[in-house]
Amino acid sequence: MKVQTKNILLATLLFASLISCKSKISEEVIESYKTENSFYEKTLIEKSVSKEDLLQETEDNYKQFISEIDPAKKTAFEKDKVFKSEFESKKLCLIELAEKSQSNILHTNTTVELGNRFIESLSKGEIEKEEEAEKQWEDFRLNFSQLQAQADSIENHITDNKSQLYDMYKNALNIYGLKPIIPSKNRK
């Protein structure tokens, strides 16, 4: 009976020592997550577009465009309902895109904050298995990838919209401008 009790005590002691030895996530892994989280935050915030800045830029470009209209043709331009309608449509589209960009930034900030909390929980040892941590971090990576794709799409739409506005200005100046815009010839 002594041997059996001794074996039970030894097994219990061995089990207790195994439980007390938590396998912590390495500091290198935690630091790599911190670096990655900061990178995502910086990259996505750089892609954000301020609604006010975009409206100001549009207004400044419009004022420049108006200043190049021939005073003798100004009355005809003011009656051009097609141009005004298209311009307002493009301006509203830019506003909508800027709002989407701001919404994307809110989602980015939330995701970064969740990433910071996750990293903090790793530092405290609340998540012990590296495989579990990596699986959860992959979810953050997926979220960041989706936010990046949305930011790129918004940026592309803004660029396209600005290009269309420029073409509208150019076409209108060919009709109403002081000097028609002559297309540049390809140089050989």
pLDDT tens digit sequence for 38-74: 998 888 888 888 889 988 999 999 999 999 999 999 9
pLDDT of residue 7: 52
Cα distances (angstroms) measured from residue 67 to each of 9, 11, 62? 93, 90, 9
pLDDT for residue 127: 84
Q: Provide the pLDDT for residue 9.
A: 47
Q: Which residues contact 55 (CB under 8 A, 6 or more apart)?
A: 91, 94, 95, 98
| Residue 15 token pair | 């089990």
Chain centre to alpha carbon of residue 60: 26
Q: Give the pLDDT of residue 8.
A: 53
Q: Do the Cβ atoms of 128 and 26 come closer than 8 Å? A: no
CA angle 126, 131, 137 (to 5 degrees): 75
Cα 8 to chain centroid, rounded: 59
Which positions of the chain have pLDDT values less than 70?
A: 1-23, 180-188
At residue 54, φ and ψ (nearest 5 deg) are -65, -40
Residue 13: the pLDDT is 44
pLDDT on residue 136: 92
CB-count exposure of residue 18 (10 Å: 0-12, 13-18, 19+)? exposed
User: Given this model, what pLDDT does residue 188 score?
Assistant: 40
> What local confidence, expressed as pLDDT, does residue 72 receive?
94
